[in-house]
Amino acid sequence: MTRVSDQNYLLTEQYHNAANLTDRIRLHEQFSTSAYDWMAWVFDQYQLPANARILEVGCGPADCWHKNRQRIPAGWDITLSDFSPGMLEAARTHLGDQVGRFAFRVIDAQAIPYDDVFFDVVIANHMLYHIPDRAAALAEIQRVLKPGGQFFATTIGPTHLQELYELARWFDPNITFGGVQNPFDLDNGLAQLARWFEDVQIERFPDNLLVTEVAPLVAFILSTTGNAREILQGERLTAFIACVEAEFAQQNGTFFITKDSGMFKARRA
Ligand SMILES: C[S@@+](CC[C@H](N)C(=O)[O-])C[C@H]1O[C@@H](n2cnc3c(N)ncnc32)[C@H](O)[C@@H]1O
């Protein structure tokens, strides 16, 4: 099993708390070329009724809810869940004075502890590729949704951040990033969802990164689901930073990175 779906590694190291994910989100926040913020775009996709019972699985530090906190309709009843208690704690802290608007629950998406036909909406953003038994998770999400209920799932595409990964592997071919092929991406996800849901649609978010600082890019690489942190230590880390600096210098102090992100929208029959 690769680290991307190694639930023990994810729970005890990668997502033990929000630190790794925060380093990755920071690179996007600082250097995205689009003026349309990703989290605002994600929230804009939730075209929901004024009253809706919503479950998010794998919510992480609840960035989307935090960023859009002024826009959440009063009639939305929102439960945020994650299998990592540390992540849920980060979500609570992050939501600050809005925390009372949400319920929180530790949940493994492969076994959702709610009755059938309970939710109007389920959200699973950037997390389905982590699930070893994705069919079980999708069956659970379908089961807890009401007929006609909506499912939203963001993920990445095959070219996402390819220049960043190539740069690290060019420096050291032994560096890996979790797995060879993403098991749930914008290319292979639709067929997986079509087994459980109707009207599966895909929306891509147009954006790229133009990075102008070395440190946030290196922090991103060290935070990833793979072995970069183990390999890039001491002198190897110093050499890698010098390599990234040289690459920036060749491109007039910038480094361009392709982004490929988007959302699946689906409905329970
Ligand atoms: C890349 S983060 C995404 C966080 C957030 N949804 C976002 O888009 O910013 C993946 C999240 O999935 C959670 N996760 C991984 N496996 C899970 C599982 N089996 N059940 C529930 N959550 C899981 C991790 O703890 C982590 O918070």
Looking at ligand 1, which atom is closest to the CA of residue 131? 19
The SS3 call for residue 105 is strand
Domain residue limits at 50: 3-157+178-205+261-267
Residue 254 counted as domain residue: no
d(CA 184, CA 127): 9
Residues 66-77: tens digit of each pLDDT: 999 999 999 999
- For residue 125 and ligand 1, the question of a CB distance below 6 A is answered with yes
The beta strands (E) that lie in 62-117 are given as: 76-82, 102-106
pLDDT at residue number 173: 96
Residue that has been written with the tokens 């639930």 in this structure: 7
Residue 129 counted as domain residue: yes
Q: How confident is the model at residue 229 (pLDDT cuts 50, 70, 90)?
A: very high
In CATH, what number is assigned to the domain containing residue 116? 3.40.50.150
Residue 170 counted as domain residue: no
Query: Residue 233: pLDDT above 70?
Result: yes
Residue 114 counted as domain residue: yes
The SS3 call for residue 84 is coil
Q: How confident is the model at residue 1 (pLDDT cuts 50, 70, 90)?
A: low
Residue 225 counted as domain residue: no
**Mean predicted confidence (pLDDT) in 145-165:** 97
Side chain identity, residue 86: G
Tell whether pTM > 0.95.
Answer: yes
What does the buried/exposed string (b/e) look like for 16-42 if buried means 16 or more CB atoms within 10 Å of the residue's CB? eebebbbbbbebbeebbeeeebbbebb
Contact yes or no for 49/226 (Cβ under 8 A): no
Side chain identity, residue 99: V
Residue 8 counted as domain residue: yes
Residue 23 counted as domain residue: yes
Residue 107 counted as domain residue: yes
User: Which protein residue's CA is at the shortest distance from atom 22 of ligand 1?
Assistant: 58
pLDDT at residue number 180: 73
**Mean predicted confidence (pLDDT) in 170-194:** 93
If you measure from the C-alpha of residue 103 to the centroid of ligand 1, how many angstroms do you get, rounded to a whole number? 17
Counted domains in the chain? 1
- For residue 82 and ligand 1, the question of a CB distance below 6 A is answered with yes
**Mean predicted confidence (pLDDT) in 213-230:** 96
pLDDT at residue number 50: 97
* Cα four-point dihedral sign 67, 145, 203, 195: positive
Looking at ligand 1, which atom is closest to the CA of residue 109? 20
**Mean predicted confidence (pLDDT) in 123-149:** 98
